[in-house]
Amino acid sequence: RSKRRGRGQVTVYSQEIAQEMKRSTQLEQALRNAIIADEVDVHFQPIVDLKTDMVVGFEALARWCDPDLGYVSPAAFVPLAEERGFIDSLSETLLHKAAEAALSWPKELFLSFNLSSAQLTDPNTSANVLSIIARAGLDPRRLELEITETAVMMDADIAKKIIAELRLAGVRVSLDDFGTGQSSLGRLREFSFDKVKVDRAFVSQISTDRACEHIVKAIVAMCDGLHLEVVAEGIEHFPEALKLKALGCGMGQGYFYGKPADAITTMRYLAEKYQPGIPAAIAV
């Protein structure tokens, strides 16, 4: 009902905005309902030791398939939950499920869980995380939390405090998507991380693009010096795995080693294929 109805462009534009708002409100409502109905699931992708090809842990990844909307990517619904102020309840549900699943795994395997940016500006986050895993019965030393640089920079002081509290409790903290976004090497000094996850952007082209190879080589050398572990994300093919092994990259993750799979599939895989000391990093 724009006053400027005569101006086609303005009307079209406001209609688009109205439609987009309607869509995201529908999405929000569907997501809120899905959380209540326990329909948001968590899948697990193996992380392997590139020296031995053994599975060492799993990253939890949120999965949601709405009956009407179909599959919605976590890259879309996690930011929506943050924006609309219910990331805490979403994250709590996911972490609880992930921790319960991890209880059925061999004890030497870790669970890696993504924290959202909004959670890193909330001083209650460390206490919340620790109480959720305590309730599930998961040892904090088996938990790893993945955070991004964008997230730590939103409120550096609070982020530092959260990281320190979690690490004091034995939780490890990794820097996700390293090398993209607002990367700064100084961040590795300023914040205390245990691990760096090299972004897929470098890994996917490592066997064909010399520049990517040099960048990853430098990241590995730097992390060695800083006593940080390194995980290469997004290994899709054997040549990439080979190259990363040759560069001395400690850990890897990607479709080549295994796609994210649900809790039951993951448990079955571990029961049938996993034995400590034996390489079993075959696609799940």
Tell me which residues touch Mg ion (CB under 5 A): 114, 146, 176-177, 233
Q: How far is the CB of 260 from ligand C2E (least distance, A)?
A: 5
Residue nearest to ligand C2E (CB): 254
Contact 116, 91 (CB under 8 A): yes
Partner touching 125 among Mg ion, ligand C2E, none, CB below 5 to 8 Å by kind: none
Of 136 and 201, CB closest to Mg ion: 201
Dist. CA 167–CA 179, nearest whole Å:
23
Partner touching 255 among Mg ion, ligand C2E, none, CB below 5 to 8 Å by kind: ligand C2E
Radius of gyration, alpha carbons of the chain:
20
Of 114 and 266, CB closest to Mg ion: 114
On the 0-12 / 13-18 / 19+ scale of CB atoms within 10 A, 172 is: buried
- 48, two tokens: 């392997």
Q: Write down the H helix ranges in 117-226.
A: 125-136, 149-154, 156-168, 186-190, 200-203, 210-225
Q: How far is the CB of 169 from Mg ion (least distance, A)?
A: 20
Q: Among residues 215, 282, 236, which one has the least CA distance to residue 55?
A: 282
Instruction: Specify which residues 63 forms β-bridges with.
Output: 41
Q: Among residues 18, 82, 59, which one has the least CA distance to residue 259?
A: 59
Of 144 and 146, CB closest to ligand C2E: 146
Q: How far is the CB of 97 from Mg ion (least distance, A)?
A: 16
Residues that bind ligand C2E (CB under 6 A): 45, 60-62, 73-75, 78, 94, 114-116, 146, 176-177, 200, 233-236, 254-255, 260
Of 31 and 196, CB closest to Mg ion: 196
Of 78 and 223, CB closest to ligand C2E: 78
